[in-house]
């Protein structure tokens, strides 16, 4: 790795630059997409097709008063929005976008992703607690319970993929899908990972920690200015991350027919899942909080365990004598 230092720095910078811009672009795509699906125009004034709305919004956020409520716990209040952005950006470290385009191909890549996503829960809990506001606290409690529960299924649903690939390294998992994408044998794992991914990024339909109609804005009710902006951009980077992970783990990552370069295949597949996330937001109602938890523990957990046992059994049966 020492010989390719400039190249390496280029990859780090490139991933950082692309991810931040994708998150910003996604805000525009979502607002226009939702408008399209709901039969209205959406933001179409600033720049061509309203593309500059994100720039206008971020300038507005930067120049807003950075208000910390006097009743808030100041250090924790400032720390919370930082955690969400840092954990999501750290997760992108292990994602192989194409052969050679990966910041660090750790041999525990998948576990690193899970660790970072579990650290992400702190931003919600601490943000809600430090705001010292009952709506925020309720949102934080919901968020904590939801994220802990869905992390369990998220981790377990991926273990089928690990069993089939025989490695935690994400590039080895992609290489193992050369013959057949894992979405075919691991269809249950994929569906559960998708559901758990929506819950982890607390997007609609599972956005109960910030349910507007019940909790004002949930855990970030008291946040304004760029601190709110960080929660906001963190959410969009979170969806990008989950989409990337779905592509890497279940849809063959950069693999695809030869007429397009690998990175283009990766981007196309990721864009497809980003579109699905936006479509889901436009079309699904929000479940009640207890329904969400019940659904997770009573249906998803047994199904995940069953999937894991069956996958392990079939693999053991196929290559008997594997040591």
Partner 1 sequence: MELTFYIAAAVAVLATIMVITRFNMIHALLYLVVSFLAVAVVFLTLGAPFMAALEVIVYAGAIVVLIIFVIMMLSLTREDVEQEKAWLQPKLWLGPALLSFALLAELVYLLVIAEMPAAPAAASYVDARAVGLALYGPYVLGVQLSGILLMAGIVGAYHLGRQKKKVIHRFLQEKEPQKERSAAI
Q: Which of 21, 107, 283, 291 binds partner 1 (CB under 8 A)?
A: 107
CB of 238 to partner 1, least distance (A): 16
- Compare residues 29 and 85 and give the one whose CB is closer to partner 1: 85
Q: Which is nearer to partner 1, 125 or 292 (CB)?
A: 125
106: contact with partner 1 by CB under 8 A = yes
Q: Is 18 in the site for partner 1 (CB under 8 A)?
A: no
Q: Which of 23, 53, 102, 125 binds partner 1 (CB under 8 A)?
A: 125
Inter-residue contact 247 to 253 (CB < 8 Å): yes
Dihedral-angle region of residue 273 (phi above 0 means left; psi in -120 to 50 means alpha; beta otherwise): alpha
Q: Does 93 bind partner 1 (CB under 8 A)?
A: no
Q: Which of residues 157-186 bind partner 1 (CB under 8 A)?
A: 168
User: Between 47 and 76, how does the x/- string for binding to partner 1 read (CB under 8 A)?
Assistant: --------------------------x-xx
* Least distance (Å) between residue 109 CB and partner 1: 10
Stretch 255-314 residues interacting with partner 1 (CB under 8 A): none
User: Using CB under 8 A as the criterion, what x/- string covers residues 136-155 for binding partner 1?
Assistant: -x--xx--xx-xx--x---x
Q: Which residues bind partner 1 (CB under 8 A)?
A: 73, 75-76, 79, 106-108, 111-112, 114-115, 118-119, 121-122, 125-126, 129, 137, 140-141, 144-145, 147-148, 151, 155, 168
């Amino acid at each position: 790795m020492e010989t390719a230092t400039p190249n390496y720095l280029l990859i780090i910078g490139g991933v950082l630059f692309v991810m931040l811009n994708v998150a910003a672009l996604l805000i525009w795509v979502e607002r226009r997409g939702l408008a399209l699906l709901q039969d209205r125009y959406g933001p179409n004034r600033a720049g061509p097709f309203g593309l500059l709305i994100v720039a206008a919004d971020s300038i507005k956020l930067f120049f807003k008063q950075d208000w910390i409520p006097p009743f808030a716990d100041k250090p924790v209040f400032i720390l919370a929005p930082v955690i969400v952005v840092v954990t999501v950006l750290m997760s992108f470290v292990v994602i192989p976008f194409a052969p050679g385009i990966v910041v660090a191909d750790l041999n525990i890549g998948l576990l690193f992703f899970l660790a970072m996503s579990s650290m992400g829960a702190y931003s919600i809990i601490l943000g809600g607690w430090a705001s010292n506001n009952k709506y925020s606290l309720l949102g934080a409690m919901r968020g904590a319970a939801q994220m802990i529960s869905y992390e369990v299924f998220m981790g377990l649903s991926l273990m089928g993929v690990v069993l089939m690939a025989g490695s935690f390294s994400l590039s080895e998992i992609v290489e193992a899908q050369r013959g057949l994408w894992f979405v075919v044998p691991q269809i249950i794992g994929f569906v559960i990972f998708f559901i758990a991914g929506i819950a982890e990024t607390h997007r609609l339909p599972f956005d109960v920690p910030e349910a507007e109609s019940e909790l004002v804005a949930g855990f970030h009710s008291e946040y304004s200015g760029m601190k709110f902006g960080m929660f906001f951009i963190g959410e969009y980077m979170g969806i990008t991350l989950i989409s990337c992970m779905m592509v890497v783990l279940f849809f063959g990552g950069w693999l695809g027919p030869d007429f397009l370069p690998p990175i283009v295949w990766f981007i196309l597949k990721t864009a497809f899942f980003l579109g699905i996330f936006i479509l889901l937001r436009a079309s699904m109602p929000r479940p009640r909080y207890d329904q969400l938890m019940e659904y997770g523990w009573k249906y998803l957990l047994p199904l995940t365990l069953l999937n894991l046992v069956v996958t392990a059994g079939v693999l053991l049966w196929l290559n008997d004598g594997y040591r």
